[in-house]
A and B are shown apart, each in its own frame.
Chain A
Amino acid sequence: MARLAEQLKIDEGRVVEALQAARERLDRVEGEMVLDFSSVRRIDPCALRAMEELADTADHQGVKLVLQDVNVAAYKVLKLVKLASRFCFAS
């Protein structure tokens, strides 16, 4: 059954897998999906690719992606690769 908001915790050791899982769940989400980044200390190139794919799919499906508790160093990375504008941020 469709829900208005979906919340997923992203584990630093499995960022890519978690993002892929989130992507697979997008078709069951209406409204927004909240990804909890509070335990992610760093983002690597693979994670960035996964985030870009996730953003593409979310755009396609009209789902708003909210990244929660992204640390500022990781936020700067998203700005540098021009991905920040594709997400909403919450803390």
Chain B
Amino acid sequence: MMTHELVEDRVQIPPVSDGLSEQRIAYLEKLVVQARTAAAVFTQFTQEDVDRIVKPMVLAGLDHAQPLARLAFEETKLGVMEDKVIKNMVATEFVYNYIKDKRTVGIIREFPERNLVEMAEPIGVILSITPITNPTSTVLFKCIMAIKTRNAVIFSPHPNAWRCCSKAVSIMLETALQYGAPEGVLACLESHTLQDNAYLMGHKDVRLIDATGGPGAVKAAYSSGKPALGVGPGNTPVYLEKTADLSMAVTDILLSKTFDNGTICASEQTAVIDDEIYDVVLKKFAELGSHICDEKETELLARAVIDPKTGFMQPMAVGQKATDIARFAGVSVKAGTKLLIAPIQGVGRAHPLSVEKLFPVLAVYRARSVEEALKVCVDVNHAGGLGHTAVIFSRNDEVIHKFSELMNAGRILVNSPGSVGAVGGVYNDLVPTFSFGCGTGGGNSTTDNVNIYHYLNLKRVARRTQSHMWFRVPNQIYFNMNAVENLHQFPSQSTVIITNPALERFGHVDIVRRHIPAGTHVHISVIPDAEPEVKVVMQGVEALTFYKADQVIALGGGSVIDAAKIMKLKYESPEADLQELAAPFLDLRKRVIQYPTEKVNRARLIAISTTSGTGSEVTPFAVLTDKDRGCKVTLADYSLTPDVAIVDPQFVMSMPKGLTADTGIDCLTHALEAAVSSYASPYTDPNAMQAIRLVFKYLPIAYEQPHDEEARSMMHSAACIAALAFSNASVGVNHALAHAFGARFGVAHGRANALMLPHVIAYNASVPTKFLPSPYQKGYLAHRKYATIADLLGLGGRTIEDKVKNLVAATERLLDQLGFPSSIADLGISREQFERAIPDLTKLAFDDPSWRSNPRMPLMSELAELYWKAYQGRSPVRAESESQPQTWLQPTL
């Protein structure tokens, strides 16, 4: 049990083992070698072997509880012999009761739902410093813990408790050896010097220092550079609140404070008593054998038991009887007086008795209010008791809670005695211990009741887990010519159509209106044909609110549909903060910001796409421009996904050639990136592959023969199918590069994608400089996925390398066919201009969340290199083979 070690307190253990004779060093070395050997041999023991040894040790400890207590009392002249018997029994029986069924070998805990198990690894050799106040009980406790955990311990007892500790160790060792423990597993220093401790603390084969002693020993342990379990002193406040059961409180405090003459450091030091019950409490204490000191007696007592220079208790008082202390102080008390009670008016150096007193002297303070009482308890806690123990007697849960919040203590005991309560297993379900961790407040490494788990290295065996994946798409998708007719299925009181001026001019809005069920109030909201701005969105929200819309139809390309998604979000949840919702995230399931689920309005969103590229009609993404703040806001959440998507090619029959090419390549990029994404799944792969197949087959036709209904229809579906894939698998580095480049040089998104695409395929297919963590994939698959795509397209090739090259070449041919510029230079951007832009482009591309699912993690230098390749032009395969060959992944992968 942790106490002030008054002798050692004032003597720092020297940092080095100065002054040790060669003979002494040889002796210490021998001890360590024996312990190390024993610990090594012990690693072969099973749980059954260990448990077979521990039980007889516990029984031997119980058998010797009284003789060891007597020996300790005679040697240390501290405490109460009968109480030391109880301590020895608690250290064996109670500790055993806690550990007997605990696993300490092999798997000790399993968490199947987390695919995780904890396994035990012994520590090895432990140096254990034990105190004078609880000598044999601490030794018995630590011997049992060590054997249960397959460790070897070298004990360094307090010099004034060496005989009793040595005897306790020999009883434990003898029994352990009898039941098969390795020889040398427990040892006790034959005598004790501070140099011995310093030598052993610094020894390379001593793995842990478990110091239960005074601050000097604890500090030395922590200063040794070794892992240490040093547990510090206390100064336990006890608050008697007016609702407390006073008879129980007084009896418990008396029991606790007189147990072993107050040597347990968790015992109460200052009782803070509510004014209303103060007199009654003191009367009860007096009735049960306490002496209440008057002002003069309190002063005499303070002078006798507190060192005026240091402010700490006098060593000679520790563990002495109340009557002996009173006699020494010159205070006259009745024979048989158990406890001296000294009223104080404050805490601190001006009130000497407010410090820790490991003897039967209790300071008491009369508090005029709960607030005052709590403040005084905080003062006591901070006067040397941080991290240790605090006690409250109360029936008021609110006060108990407040007290617990205020106290910095590893143990906060409610309606139970401090000393016996803190030990655990008697008055509560705390882990039984003889070593109280005091946390950082007490300069310790733990606030726990030190136990077997502190004598183990826990190994966590974490098996690979795969988070749940998903495939989330709109409830309904209608496709093929005249799919818009399906609008009649959706009843509505008030529908708002969001569209742009051109579509209204082309008569598309009229087509839509014709299919809305009769009786629906239909309102048109025309927005500019450009990436939506916050202002435009808010105007739309006003319209939805004004018309009390229960249905929103977005008729247009990506910009219109994105605008409608955000309007719906703000209409349903006006409090939603778009900037906050745009906060970056790595994993959708772990994102910090959650989208609102509470809605003040509800509206169905039907998206009718009029371009064949973005796939916004089925995606959970929306982008808008915040002109006031000068930035883009990208929103991503499945709650943004439209409820219904209508993919009707009649709306794209008149798309101009340039737009057909741009949006078509955007679609191809979506599909290619989704196919190799680290989030790709068997649910997204078929969509990605099918979209790629459709693009290669139908995009050139749709481009050359715009009125070819089949080609238009298939491309319109391809865009939607690719979006189903990338909505769930996301995109990659191509999009990151294109976003930054497009924004900087005002190049359309599809066109920007096209400039990067062949280079990115070649990049992803080569051996990554850096892999991206991807628990969803078993190995690097990008090159194989590309090869599969090449096979699907019938591009030929024998090896994976050939197939990837053929895919790159086919992509280049398609881009040529669609009239895309072959390089950034072809756009009229000068080399100097581009060179100046590269640092910013690279940073922006790296910040873009799109590449987070790219199979290969891009380095910034690689992003720059990709930009330069795009600047120089297509044919990356040829360029690579001519200059510096790529390291292509081999088919064996």
- A residues within 8 Å of B by Cβ? 42-46, 48-49, 73-74, 76-77, 80-81
Contact = CB atoms under 8 A, between A and B. Distances in A.
B198 to A, nearest CB: 24
B612 to A, nearest CB: 63
Contacts of A81: 36-37, 40
Interface string B425-445: 000000000000000000000
Interface in B1-52: 34, 36-41, 43-44
Contacts of B183: 45-46
Interface residues of B, number: 13
B154 to A, nearest CB: 15
Given A45-B37, A45-B38, A77 B43 contact: yes
A74 B182 contact: no
16 contacts: A42-B44, A43-B44, A44-B41, A44-B182, A45-B41, A45-B184, A48-B37, A73-B43, A73-B44, A76-B40, A77-B44, A80-B36, A80-B39, A80-B40, A81-B37, A81-B40
Contacts of B124: 80
Interface in B147-187: 182-184
Given A80-B36, A80-B124, A81-B36, A43 B41 contact: yes
Contacts of B36: 80-81
Nearest to B184: A45
A3 B183 CA distance: 38
A48 B41 contact: yes
Contact of B43 (A48, A49, A76): A76
B44 A74 contact: yes
Contacts, number: 35
Given A73-B43, A80-B39, A80-B40, 16 more contacts: A43-B41, A43-B44, A44-B41, A45-B34, A45-B38, A45-B182, A48-B37, A49-B37, A76-B40, A76-B43, A77-B41, A77-B43, A77-B44, A80-B36, A81-B36, A81-B40
A76 to B, nearest CB: 6
Q: Which 3 A-B pairs have the closest CB atoms?
A: A80-B40, A77-B40, A81-B40
A48 B40 contact: yes
B149 to A, nearest CB: 15
Contacts of A73: 43-44
A45 to B, nearest CB: 5
Most buried by A among B40, B43, B44, B183: B40
A46 B37 CA distance: 10
Contacts of A42: 41, 44
Most buried by B among A45, A73, A76, A81: A45
Secondary structure type dominating chain A contacts: helix
Nearest to B33: A81
A54 B34 CA distance: 18
Most buried by A among B34, B39, B43: B43
Contacts of A44: 41, 182
Nearest to A77: B40
A74 B37 CA distance: 12
Interface in B172-217: 182-184
Nearest to A80: B40
A80 B122 CA distance: 12
B124 to A, nearest CB: 7
Contacts of B182: 44-45
Contacts of B37: 45, 48-49, 81
A73 B44 CA distance: 6
Interface string B104-137: 0000000000000000000010000000000000
Nearest to B183: A45
A76 B150 CA distance: 14
Nearest to B122: A80
B126 to A, nearest CB: 15
Interface string B36-74: 111111011000000000000000000000000000000
A11 B34 CA distance: 24
A76 B39 CA distance: 11
B280 to A, nearest CB: 63
A77 B40 CA distance: 5
Contacts of A48: 37, 40-41
B207 to A, nearest CB: 11
A80 B37 CA distance: 8
A72 B43 CA distance: 11
Contacts of A74: 44
Most buried by A among B39, B44, B184: B44
Nearest to B36: A81
A77 B42 CA distance: 9
A40 to B, nearest CB: 11
Nearest to A41: B44
A43 B182 CA distance: 10
Contacts of B34: 45
Most buried by B among A44, A49, A74, A80: A80
B203 to A, nearest CB: 14
Contacts of B39: 80
A46 B34 CA distance: 11
A39 B43 CA distance: 19
Contacts of A76: 40, 43
Interface string B732-756: 0000000000000000000000000
A80 B44 contact: no
Nearest to A73: B44
Contacts of A80: 36, 39-40, 43, 124
A49 B182 CA distance: 13
B204 to A, nearest CB: 11
B797 to A, nearest CB: 46
A76 B36 CA distance: 13
B99 to A, nearest CB: 24
A42 B40 CA distance: 11
Interface string B618-637: 00000000000000000000
A5 B124 CA distance: 37
A50 to B, nearest CB: 12
A75 to B, nearest CB: 11
B121 to A, nearest CB: 11
A67 to B, nearest CB: 16
Contacts of A49: 37
A35 to B, nearest CB: 18
Nearest to B37: A45
A74 B44 CA distance: 7
Contacts of B44: 42-43, 73-74, 77
Most buried by A among B41, B43, B124: B41
A19 B875 CA distance: 72
